Structure formats: C-alpha cells, structure tokens
Structure 1
Amino acid sequence: MNQHLEVEAKFSVSESTQIPNLGEITGVDRVDRTEIHNLSAVYFDTEDLRLTRSKITLRRRTGGNDAGWHIKFPGEVGRREVQASLDAEGASESSAPKELLGHIRALVQGRPLLPIAQVDNERHMSYLVNAEGELLAEFCDDHVSTVSYLPGGVRKQWREWELELSDAALQDETGMALLENASQTLQAAGAFPSSSPSKLSSALDNSINYAPTPPQMAELEEGDPARGVLAAIAANATKIAEYDPKVRADEYDSVHQMRVATRELRSHLQTFEGILGGEEYLKIEKELKVLATILGRARDAEVIEERLASLVETEIGDAIEESTKQELLEDLRAEYQREHARVVRALDDDRYTNLLQSLEDLLVNPPLVTEGEEEAEKAVEIEPATEQSEPATAEAAFVEETADNAETEETPADDSVEAAPEAEVTEEPVNAAPQENKEKKPAKVDAALVLLTHLDKAHAKLVKLDKKARKEWANSELSALEREENYHNVRKAAKKLRYSAEAVSKATDVNTKKLYKACSTLQSVLGDFQDAITSREELLRRAKAASRQQRDTFAYGVLYQHEHTLSRSYLEGYPEAFKEVEKAYEKLEEETAKRVKKSQRK
C-alpha cells in the first residue's frame, strides 16, 4: 500500500470558462505536458454513511495514473490518502482489500460496505514545472458526471478545476505560496472557490438526508451528572477510533495517543462505576485493559528507541564506537516494529471490533444504576473481576480466539412447564380510591456523590502508596527495582486520580482543574523517572546478551550509568510535586463533605 498527502485547491467554473496561461502563475516556469484521462470511481460506505459523516471516503477508481482502491482521511493540512492496487489480496469490484479496510475498521465495525455513488470524470491534466523541470503541481480541468445510489439520489453534471501540489512542493513553504498564486490566477480567469469539499459530497447532495443515521448517544436531562459521564466516555471512544488509522499508518506519537485514550477511558469506567454498571460494563473495562497493555508494549519500545537515539548523539555517545551505535539503533528500531505489528494484529482482530461495538451500545443504551441496584453492586470491584480472568499474555487475549465455556440456562419448552394456578379475580367498586402502594419508579443514584466517592478512594490509595514508597526507599534489604517499582505504583495512582478528577469536572459543577494539573505534574516527574529506568533495564538486558556472546559491553555500561544517574535526578522533583497534589485535594474535601451531608439529609 502507498500513502500520500493530498493538498489541493478546488474551483467551480462554467462550461465556457477559458483556462488561463498556467505558465504565468508566479513560481511556475511552464506547462510540461497535458493529458486526458477518463476516470470512473465507485464510492462505498455503510448504510448509515459512517465514513461520509466522518469526512472519510472509500472508492474504487479505474483509469488515470492512480487506478486502485483509495481511502482519504481529513487532516489539518490537506487529506491523507491510502492506496491499494485493484488486484490487491482480497480485492474485487465490490470488495476492498483486507489490508486497506483495516484503516476504517474502527468506524465500520464489520458492517457491509455498499455502493453509494459513482463519479465519472473526463480529466484534462496539465503538469506544472519549475525552471529545472521539477514537478510543482498538477492542474486538472474536470468534466464530471455523477449519480447517487441513495434514496432520492439524482444524476448531476458540472465542471471544476483542481490544482494539487506535488510531494516535492510540499517539502517547503514555496508549495503553499504556489497554491496562493495559482488561486489568484484562476479566480482572475473567472473561477470561484468551490463550496463543496469533494466530488462525492456534490454527488450525494440532498440524498444524504434520506439515508439512516447511526445510533445516537442517549439524551439525558440537562444538568444530570450522568449526561456528563456519557460525554466523557464518548470523547475517549471517539479518540480511539480517530487514532486507529493513524496507528496503522505508524504516524508519529499515534501509539502513545491511542494508549492514553484507552487508559483514560478505562479509568473513567472505573470512576463511573456506581452510576453505570452491569456485567457488560465490567467486560468493556477488562477489554480496554488488554488493549492498553498491547499498546503499552509498543509505546515502551518507542520511548526506549527515542531516548537512546537522542542520547548517543550527545557527548555521551562519543565514547561509543559508530558500529556499536548503529547496531543498537537498528535493534531498537526492529524491536519497535515487532511490537507495532502486534498492535496492528490486535486491531485487526474481531475482539477489538466487538469492544468498539460494545462501547457504542453503552452510549446508546447506558446501563444506568438505580438506588436499589447500587446496594447490590457495592460488593463488586472492577479490579478483582478483571484480574481473575486475565489471559496469560495481553496479546493472546486479543489475537487468539477463546472459547466461552460458560453454561447458559435455557427456558424449558412450553409443554414441560407446569401451568401456574389462575389468579383469583375480585371485583372492585367502580369509584374505588386509587391504590396507595403503587410501584414507584426506581430513583437514580446521586451521580455526583458517586463520583466524589471514587475521587476520595483514588486519593486515599495515592497517599498510601506514597507512604510506602518513601518508607522503603532507604531499605537496603530491598532491591533497587523493588524500591523503584513503589514509585511506579505511585505514578499509576496519580494517573488514576487525575483521570478521576477530570471525570468529576466533566460530569459535575465541581472545579477540579488545580488537582488535575497537580496530578499531571506529579505524573510527568514520575514518568521521566520510569522512562529512564525502563531504558536502563533494556540496556542491562542487552549487555548481558552481548556478554554471553563474548561481545564488547562497554557501550551498554556507559549508557546504563547515564540513565541510572538521570533517574535519580528526576526523582528530586517528587516531594514538591506530591505536596502540590495534597494542597489541591484539600480544597476539594470541603466540597465533598457538603455533598455527603446533602445526600444524607434526603
């Protein structure tokens, strides 16, 4: 598959508009040549147009220089296009290649992809070059005819101009200047900036209004904290879907961002337990933990590679032979690529698709807990439930199929069920008074109180782990790794408190910004500490392997000592960072107490 960044400008023109002298565009030397291509593209989407509504297009195009299957994603600048050939594995006239479909799996979630429109285009393409003959841009004079296959769809015809920058022109600022200069020239000739973002959008036009819409998030009352709960869950579920194709394309920082969204969503589910609940709810939390673990391994490999690649370029690396540097960096790159491949395999697994579908179902039909259910669920803790059934490896949980051996009770056939005695019928006077013991509708739990209670528990756990970490840091009977692990646990607790603070802020009127910021600072301090330790331990592992092979281990020792020293310097900022968390939390305690008293008076 190929990937390409598409940056272009589109213009509406009449059939009689004359093309100006393109060689007069500032920055262009001449038109190298002009070709005519007959293009035909069929666009595919789900019945409820999930791709189109997300500004993503999937098409099969024949004719021209780039015949094949294409997916286009929106971006901050231009659109990112992923391409596969017409004869790629699994491709047919009506089915896209499996590898290409992976890029939209998070949105499609296994739903059928149907033709929604066809766009035929007689394209007159001119190649604009500079004085050195290098391609700067492609100018397209398009004569378009389309048909929408949606209910209410019609046939349309129009003419438009496009000017797309070449890859070389995108490498520096001259490309955007060329686009601006070309726009001025084309508009002076009678063109107008197109009001339509794409040919597909123009083809569908009003027929898009006749297509069914995807299930919508449940609408709760304004001011209901549970409404904020759903919004917070939806935000991170959306992030996971948005970063899915970026992770597959291995875009910079995409693994990290998808991992953050996954872990934050999992933490939110834990924080929201008691407002939402049920067996399926707990299962989602477990699946998120597995996904976060797989992403975490790739992220750790990525961090180590980045840290050591930067380190060997400093004066520390001067003491290391160039061949050793190269070998180390190549090994680290290969390690990350292996872990990234495992991530992609997990994202291609049906278990991941089921997770996304479960999240959508949760938002559409939220399992809100009532006061009666709350008491029954108090004894259920998420962590033990997830740990009991945790697979041997996180990857195996997603990539390997696991059989569900749980037995289910079936309702006996009608003829095997003993008939219940008929209820005794009594007559009541016509004007009898209404019954006083009518069943009342279960009341919803105090969502704000549930959230603040979770926040208090998260803080209490952080304080407990902090005391343990400080107490055992000077204990020489414990190994360095054991003492360092204590601070790693503090970091995880700080992250949980931060996520809980964010959840409370999104779902209630309680201001947790200071606590969130303080937790972020503490997490950053301990994150640097942990990254240095992870890097150090990887170097130690490699040094031992090199020693067994009777190879020189001097370079590993130099880098190991540097990372060890650096980890200790990071930890110096810990006491002050933790103090700020405590100060921020104290300001919230009064608010928590008020909420508890108010709830008790009800």
Structure 2
Amino acid sequence: MAAQAPEQFLEVEVKLAVDEGTGMPDLTQLPGVEEIEGMREHNLSAVYYDTEDLRLTRSKITLRRRTGGADDGWHIKLPKGEGRNEVRMPLDDPTAVPEALRAQVRAIVRNEPLQPIAQVDNRRVEITLAGAEGTVAEFCDDHVTAWSLLPGGERTSWREWELELSEALAGTDEGNALINQATSFLISAGARKSSSPSKLATALGDSLKTAPLPPHLQSEQSLDDDSAAATVVASLRNQRDAIVGWDPRVRADEADSVHQMRVSTREMRSLLETFEGILEGEQLASLEDELKYAAGVLGEARDAEVVEERFTELLDSDESGLVDDAARTHIAGDMRADYNAAHEKIVAMLDSERFMALLDAIDALLAEPPVALSAGKKDEEKQSAEVLYDHLERGYKKLKKRHDKVVEFYDDTTLPLHERENYVHDVRKAAKKLRYSANAAQGAGLKAERLAKACKALQSQLGDFQDAVTSRDRIERLADEARGRGEDTFAYGMLYQRELDRGEQALSGYDDAVREVRKAFKKIKP
C-alpha cells in the first residue's frame, strides 16, 4: 500500500498579544467581512520536536504533533515568502515523525534524532469570517499554557489573537491588504504586536540559550572581520544556507528550484577553487569533488528542463506545418519523461548518506575554516582587498586565455563543430567563476560590482548559446531513435537547423560583452 501523500497549505496570518481582560471586537467591522460564519471551541495540545541543537527552530521551522481540533496530526511549517508552507500528515503513529515530513528538513536535521522540546496547550475560540464570496479568514482567540522541555525551561501562560487567511486569499494582494487592515483594527481594539514570532518561541523563552549551537554556527577560529579569509568564509556560508534552503523546494519540484540549487553548489565549488591559497587543506579537494558530483546530478534535470522549454517554444512557433504528429509527440513528451527520471535521481541523492556527509563537511569547514598560514602572513602586509584582487586577477587571466582560443579557433571550419563550441563553453565557465569571485570580493570593499554584472551578462549570453547546443544534441538523439523506429526524420533536421541558427544568433555581440568584462576589470584594482 502506497504511503499517504502529505497535504500542503500556504499559511498567511498575523499574531498579536492581548491581555486576559480585553474584550472581543466586532469582527464584522473588518473590511471584506460581512458575517460570522461559525464559531467553535477547541482544546489543542501540541508537542514540538527539534534536534538537541535546535536546528529547526534556528531556521524558523516548526515541527509538531498536535491533537484536538479539526487538524489533528503532524505539522511542519517552513518559511515561504510572506507566509509559511504548512505540510500535514495524519497521526498514524504518534510516536514517530513521518518520513515524508522528515524528508522536508533532512538537509537541516540530517541523521540527528528529533526529540520533544516544548508542549503548548491552547484553549481556542475559533471564529470563521465570511465575505460576499465565502470564507475569507479564521480568527482565533487563544489562551495558551506552555512548558519548555529544555534545561532550565519554565511554564508560561499568555493570550493572543490570530487571524489566518483562507486558502483562496493566502498569497494574494487582496489577502495581504486584509492582513494589514486587520492588524490595525485589532491593535485599535486593544491588542499589541507580540515580541515573539511564534508560540514555540514564547514557550522556549530564555531556555533556548541553553541549547548548543549547530556545527555551522560554531566558530572554533576567530577571523578578523576585515580579512580576506573572513570575506571568503562569509560567501561560503551564504551558499551553504542556499543549498540547505533549496532542498525542500527541489523535493517539491518548485519552479526554478533545481536550477537555483545547482547554482549554489557550483558557486561554492568555484569559490573554493578561486580562493585556494586563502583557504587550504586536504578536505578542500574532496569537498570540491562532492560539490561537482551534486551539481552533476542536478544538472541532468536542469538540462532536460531547459531543452523541454526550448522544444515547446520551437513547436509553438513553427509555422511550416512540416512537423508530423509522430515527431511532435516525441519532441513534446520525451524530455518531460527524461526530466521526471532525472528528478527522481535528485531526490535519491538528497536522501543519500553521501549528500549528508557533504553537508556535514561544509559545516565542519565553516566551524573551523582552514585558513592558510601563508594567507595570514600576507594579510599582515597587504590589505584584504589586495589579497582578493590577486585571486580575481588570476580568474580574469584564465578568462582572457580562453577567449583568445575562441578568437583563434572558432571560425576554423577544419576543426569539428563541437570542439569549437567547447572553446566558447570554456569562456562561459571562466566568466561564471569570475562573477562568483567578484561577488565575494565586494564583501571586502573591492569595487567589483561592475565586473560581476559584466560577467553575468557574458555568462547569460553564452548560456543561451550552450542551451542551443544542448537542445541540438538532444534533437540529434531523438532523430536517431525515430530512424530506428522507421519514422520520418525530416522534422528533426529542420528543428536542428533552427537551433544551429539560434546558437549563432546568441553569439552576436560576444566581442562587445568580453570587452565590457575587460573594462570592468581594469576599474577595480585597489
């Protein structure tokens, strides 16, 4: 029997503190509210779970097992825009966190046990508010008693008001307007903005300070804030947080999530390579290899996604009428199948011990950055910006060397087409690394913003070129498969030529883009 899929909801709400003696306002005075649709009272009891070092709480994520009310079950809430994404599972086993929910936060908790950290009991009066077109929100008058289960934890009681938008309004402009108006209305009725972001935070109180820090927040080595090493480590930390943050969104197959997670893994690897000499140690090479592997797995799905989008565009824009039904079916459907298979591989990777070990290795590096002794000596003689500039210069020289090969060989038709295209692709990879390095160098006060923008423009242009190459190669494989089935391959040849033309069009202005990178680099020398 297949496991039950979790339910997901976008939660957008406002919580306000209120004194015990404050009277309830007339909620029909809220804009868009015409009547009280219903009123119920619940006795709710929730036990919150986290790791010993409170990894979820520190990431503004809550995991709880709640009984009472209409939504008994396991709930996990993750930040999403102006609200939170709430994922629910039934209480089939009240003693174990469902695997489907644990997967949502696996990149954060990894193999650490989840244990109770607080209990929150709540006597709730729930009022459903309706407008002209149905339910618009639920208002809750909560009388809360909570216990922190951490060392030094205490019992706490308080009252709060909560207004949560209906599913139809959550995430809409109309809903955001109602939240803002309701906040002003409830404050005028005697409520006040809470000093705590959630019931759990209020329950934990000062006992939160007794929990140890997660590895990536521990600092075994004090770095001078103005040093080159501190700048590099800060950039690595940003990418670490991005990788972990994109994990649940990749699992849910949210738009652009695979691409963004791949960018973060590649940027971290690029930083380690570019700033070798500021950081050093045997673990760096292993870390770079594992990041390359992860980016490769993500890349399979990303390439399939890009090609599918291009195929759709090619078919939608075709006016020739020469794409037969059989070709159209394969062109439209095969890449979706490839993407789905590649996405399954990504989820398997994210669940693997290999990926857990990669994340642990990243955290270990951040906890104790392997700063090169030679870098420390150099920093005594040179400013941080100068040290980083030296590394940028190496990256720029690599880009220039690869560009020179394009100038020399791209128009040499005696060479195979793919060999010439690979020279262009090498320039794109060099531009990408230089862009990432320029972004990091800005943290040390180096005026590298223009260089980062110029590299991004060149990278984007050459990315369009490479997408055309990737799409063309896939069309060629589809044609071979069609030929094996005895089908007409004329349509594939026509689309292949169109992608060949689009690739050449993407290179128009290439020299200007490289020239802008050159000008931008000359502007940043400290």
Check whether the contact 1:4–1:81 (CA below 8 A) recurs between aligned residues. Answer: yes
Q: Is the 8 A contact 1:221 1:227 kept in 2?
A: yes
- The structure with more radius of gyration: 1
Deviation at 1:149, TM superposition (A): 0.6
- Residue number in structure 1 paired with 2:143: 143
Cα gap change, 1:334 to 1:142, in 2 (>3 Å): farther
Name the TM-score, length of structure 1 as normaliser.
Answer: 0.79
Conservation of the 8 A alpha-carbon contact between 2:73 and 2:90? yes
Q: Is the 8 A contact 1:256 1:299 kept in 2?
A: yes
Q: Flag structure 1 segments of 5+ consecutive residues without an equivalent.
A: 375-441, 592-602
Aligned 8 A contact 1:298 1:336 in 2: yes
Q: Does 1:501 align with 2:475?
A: no
Count how many residue pairs are aligned between Structure 1 and Structure 2: 515
Corresponding residue SS for 1:174: helix
Q: 2:114 maps to which residue?
A: 113
Q: Alignment partner of 2:87: what SS?
A: strand
Find the aligned partners of 2:156 and 2:132 in 1 and give their Cα distance: 40
Q: Structure 1 residues 323, 77: CA separation in 2 closer, same or farther (over 3 Å shift)?
A: farther
For residue 577 of structure 1, report the CA deviation from its aligned partner: 0.8
* Structure 1 residues 184-243: Cα deviation after superposition (integer angstroms, max 9, x where no partner): 443444333433211111111222122223342332124322222221221211221122
1:393 match: none
Greater Cα offset, 448-457 or 134-143? 448-457
Q: CA deviation at 1:305?
A: 2.2
Structure 1 residue 8: Cα displacement: 0.8
Please list the CA deviations of residues 564-584 of structure 1 after superposition, one character each: whole Å capped at 9, or x if unmatched: 211111111111111222233
Q: Greater shift after overlay, 190-199 or 142-151?
A: 190-199
Distance in 2, matches of 1:311 and 1:138, equals 47
Q: What's the secondary structure of 2:483's corresponding residue?
A: helix
Q: Structure 2 residue aligned with 1:216, among 215, 218, 240?
A: 218
Match of 2:358 among 351, 355, 359: 355
**Cα shift at 1:170:** 2.9
Matches of 1:19 and 1:257 in 2, distance apart? Answer: 46
2:228 counterpart of 1:225: yes
User: Structure 1 123/309 Cα, relative in aligned 2: closer, same or farther at 3 Å?
Assistant: farther
**Residue 3 of structure 2 aligns with which residue?**
none
Deviation at 1:502, TM superposition (A): 3.3
The change in CA–CA distance for 1:545 and 1:140 in structure 2 (over 3 A counts) is same
Alpha-carbon distance change, 456 to 140 in structure 1, aligned in 2, over 3 angstroms: same
- Cα separation, partners in 2 of 1:537 and 1:582, compared to 1, 3 Å: same
Q: 1:124-523 to 2 correspondence within 5 Å?
A: 124-132=125-133, 134-170=134-170, 172-214=172-214, 215-217=217-219, 218-314=221-317, 316=319, 320=323, 328-371=331-374, 443=377, 451-506=388-443, 508-523=444-459
1:180 and 1:229 map into 2 onto residues whose CA distance is 40
Letter in 1 for 2:421: E
**Closer/same/farther in 2, CA of residues 572 and 349 from structure 1, 3 Å limit:** same
**Deviation string, structure 1 residues 346-382 (Cα, Å, up to 9, x no partner):** 11111111111111211222222224xx9xxxxxxxx
Check 1:130–1:549 CA distance in 2 against 1; reply closer, same or farther (3 A cut): farther
Match of 1:34 among 20, 36, 39: 39
Q: CA deviation at 1:451?
A: 4.3
The residue that corresponds to 1:578 in the other structure is: 514
TM-score normalized with structure 2 length: 0.90
Structure 2 equivalent of residue 101 of structure 1: 102
Q: 1:444 to 1:112 in 2, by over 3 A?
A: farther
Are residue 4 (structure 1) and residue 4 (structure 2) matched?
A: no
Question: Could you say if the C-alpha distance between residues 330 and 187 of structure 1 is closer, same or farther in structure 2, counting changes exceeding 3 Å?
Answer: farther
1:561 aligns with 2:497: yes
Kindly state the Cα deviation for residue 131 of structure 1 after the two structures are TM-superposed.
3.3
Alpha-carbon distance, 1:443 to partner: 4.7
Q: Which amino acid aligns with 1:581?
A: V
1:529 and 2:484 are equivalent in the alignment = no
Distance 1:509-1:182 versus aligned 2 partners, 3 A rule: closer
Structure 2 unaligned blocks of 5 or more: 1-5
Residue 47 (structure 1) aligned to one of 52, 68, 83? 52
Cα distance change on mapping 1:69 and 1:554 into 2, 3 Å: farther
Partners of 1:207 and 1:331 in 2: CA distance: 55
Instruction: Indicate conservation of the 8 Å contact 1:147/1:156, yes or no.
Output: yes
Change over 3 Å in CA distance of 1:452–1:175 after alignment to 2: closer
| Correspondence 1:84 to 2:89 | yes
Change (3 A) 1:587 1:143: closer
Change (3 A) 1:202 1:526: same
> Aligned equivalents of 1:293 and 1:112: distance in 2?
30
Structure 1 match to 2:79: 74
Change (3 A) 1:40 1:482: same
Which region of structure 1 is more displaced relative to structure 2, 146-155 or 180-189?
180-189
- When structure 1 is superposed on structure 2, of 452-461 and 317-326 the one drifting more is 317-326
Compared CA separation, residues 157 and 244, structure 1 to 2 (3 A)? same
- Name the CA distance, whole Å, in 2 between partners of 1:560 and 1:39: 62
1:61 is matched with 66
Structure 2 counterpart of 1:465, one-letter code: R
- Preserved contact between residue 228 and residue 388 of structure 2 (Cα < 8 Å): no
Identical pairs, percent: 48
1:505 to partner: Cα distance: 3.8
Q: Which sits farther off after the overlay, 553-562 or 288-297?
A: 553-562
Question: Which whole-Å CA distance do the structure 2 matches of 1:317 and 1:18 have between them?
Answer: 71
- Cα pair distance change 1:61/1:318, threshold 3 Å: farther
> Letter of the aligned partner of 1:491 in structure 2?
R
Q: Return the offset for 1:461.
A: 2.5
The structure-2 alpha-carbon separation of the partners of 1:518 and 1:174, relative to structure 1 and needing over 3 Å to count, comes to: closer
Following the alignment from structure 2 to structure 1, what is the Cα–Cα distance between the partners of residues 125 and 446? 60
Alpha-carbon distance between aligned partners in 2 of 1:585 and 1:443, rounded to the nearest angstrom: 26
**Alpha-carbon shift at residue 298 of structure 1 (Å):** 1.6
Does the aligned pair in 1 maintain the 2:327–2:492 contact within 8 Å? no
Please say if residues 9 and 85 of structure 2, whose CA atoms lie closer than 8 Å, have aligned partners that are also in contact.
yes
Letter in 1 for 2:474: E
The letter of the residue matching 2:204 is L
Give, as a single letter, the amino acid of the residue that structure 1 aligns with 2:495.
L
Query: Within 1, Cα distance between the matches of 2:327 and 2:89?
Result: 38
* 1:27 to 1:320, Cα distance in 2 relative to 1, 3 A: farther
In structure 1, distance between residues paired with 2:436 and 2:489: 42
Query: Which residue in the other structure is 1:396 paired with?
Result: none
Worse overlay, 60-69 or 171-180: 171-180
Determine the C-alpha separation between the residues in 1 that align with 2:354 and 2:261.
17
Find the aligned partners of 1:33 and 1:328 in 2 and give their Cα distance. Answer: 53
